[in-house]
Amino acid sequence: MLFRSLQYSLFISRTLFEGNRITQQIHGNLDAIPENENVDEKNVTERFFGLAGAEVSSYCGDKNEFLGSYHGYGNPEGIVCGDLGDKTSYNENSCGALSCKITLKAGETRTIAFLLGMKPSSEAAEVIRCYENPAPTVAEELEALKADWNSKLDNLKVSTPSPEFDTMINTWNAYNCFMTFIWSRAASFIYCGLRNGYGYRDTVQDIQGIIHLAPEMALEKIRFMLSAQVNNGGGLPLVKFTHTPGKEDTPDDASYVQETGHPAYRADDALWLFPTVYKYISETGNTAFLDEVIPFANKDEATVYEHLKRAVAFSLNHLGPHGMPAGLYADWNDCLRLGANGESSFVALQFYYAMTILKIFAEYKKDTEYVQYLEETQKAFGEKVQELCWDNDRFVRGYTESGERIGEAAAPEANMWLNPQSWAVISGLASPEQGDAALNNVYERLNTKYGAILMDPPYHAHAFDGALAVIYNQGTKENSGIFSQSQGWLILAEALRGHGERAFTYFMENSPAAQNDCAEIRRLEPYCYGQFTEGKASKHFGRSHVHWLTGTASTVMVGCVEGILGMRPDFGGLRIAPSIPADWDQFTIEKDFRGKHLHIVVENPEHVQSGCKALYVNEEKMEDNYIPVEKMTDQTKVRLVMA
């Protein structure tokens, strides 16, 4: 399929040259039809590579011509010979290359600007004209760019004994969060080029990573994703770029399935809304958002609160034979197809957590009857999950629709899974004893020097029909690879249990900033997360893949900020509950919170991993480790002493 797609792409592409720019056209043969009309939902798309501040001396729009025979990226023929050949492409691999000739007098300097943009040719010309005098324009724009990023990144700054932790939280993890927030999994040079929309679960999760940095940006995207929820409570598996709330087809419609390639609802999509909405309201104090009316994807509209109630109803209306949420098309793991009537423990734990959050919202709204309903439903459901999924020292992964139990200790393969253990703690379902036993099992069975593998042993000879991970080599992706996104949940789970050493260990094992001494093994940029790292069953153990295209930035940010740093806001204020390495004597946090600035100093004189001896706010001692928002001032000094 990938081969066919690349072949197809070859024959819809061509490059043109005009004056000071190369334009690449996709579907250029459709230039005769009006802009507002499409053929097979397609029209001309153009992007450009231009030059400002000098005249173009030669150009090339054909990659093979630019590289030349027996040449490569290290010595392209167009560079070696000094002339790009003035070639364009038609049914070839496109590129954009421009050259210019500049004569400088002694001591003279000159600035030129190369510009790359996704604009039609008519607009590209105007963009390039804005850079006729490049030096002051570029300088001004660079300062504006710095100011824009500082306005986002300065909302949380940490200074800890770990330079790796600081550089990731302060800069690179945050930057990665904004990139995935903007793009979700909508674009990838590795997988599929430009997709036809946003994945529901992916996008809602990505929002979480920037809430503490840019809550208004987060709010806009939360509204968008709520408008992509179907009125039955489920989420659209794929939200089209042309999404029109109130007018969309759904997986119940053959037209949606044909257009998107998604044949059914997924069990987990709408459940990601609960932690995301809760984190936003807790960070901002915007409880009025619960009453904001937002349309559903297909028809009708309702308050945010009602949207979330319908998400709970969706799960309750789609239960498997044991009474846990049905697997439907898939849960988070797309390579684990338990069947439409299979049951996922991961989704069951998400659902349990969702009811906890919705109960907080219901209590705030004084929806007494619904609070009682949730309490009774959650209690009965929790007992059921405990009975069905706890297996001595671990939580199983679920049940196939034929009743086979996946992830039990007696299974010859895949008898220990990562995500149910971390989510049992995050959800609050596991008892402290169960949580510690499950996490100990993870550390002993799944942990490696590059992070925890997704499950063990890999699938090979005993995979059930829905275990699609078996198609991958052992130690790769979902087949016992180190799935980076899951590391964030593991960091958070260990931190919630007060295990600071392990939480930080998991951060360091998978952190790009901590792997500069093994770049030849990792083979990925030192500043961004990859989707997965090859696990111990692979002969390339430690090699990472698929940069940027991952929800890791968000889950690790949440794990580090809420877990290791212990920044846990709620409706009334901020709880500070660090889980750190015992050898950290002290660290500081600069945090903007609801229009106030908090300067937080955490002292650890007894070298513990967690716990609070005393908390002072502007030198006033608090009752515990909680700061009510009314105690905060414009410049709030906070000192927490651990013990």
Residues annotated catalytic, as ranges: 334
Residue 589 confidence (pLDDT):
98
DSSP letters of 15-77?
Answer: EEEETTEEEEEESGGGTTS-TT--BTTB--EEEEEEEESS---EEEEEHHHHH-TT--TTS-H
CA R_g for the chain:
27
User: Tokens 């901020």 appear where?
Assistant: 574
- Secondary structure class of 294 (helix, strand, coil): strand
Phi-psi region of 52 (alpha: psi -120 to 50; beta: other; left: phi over 0): beta
pLDDT tens digits, 183-203: 877 665 555 555 678 899 999
Q: Is the peptide bond before 321 cis (omega within 30 degrees of 0)?
A: no
SS3 118: coil
Secondary structure in 3-state letters for 546-583: EECCCCHHHHHHHHHHHHHCCEEEECCEEEECCECCCC
Question: CB count, 10 Å around CB of 103?
Answer: 6
Contact 349, 491 (CB under 8 A): no
- The answer to whether 59 and 86 have CB atoms below 8 angstroms apart is yes
Counting as low any pLDDT under 70, the low residues of the chain are: 1-8, 186-195
pLDDT of residue 5: 44
CA-to-CA dists, residue 292 to 203, 207, 287, angstroms? 21, 19, 10
Between CA 454 and CA 421 the distance in angstroms is: 11
Place of tokens 């502007």: 618
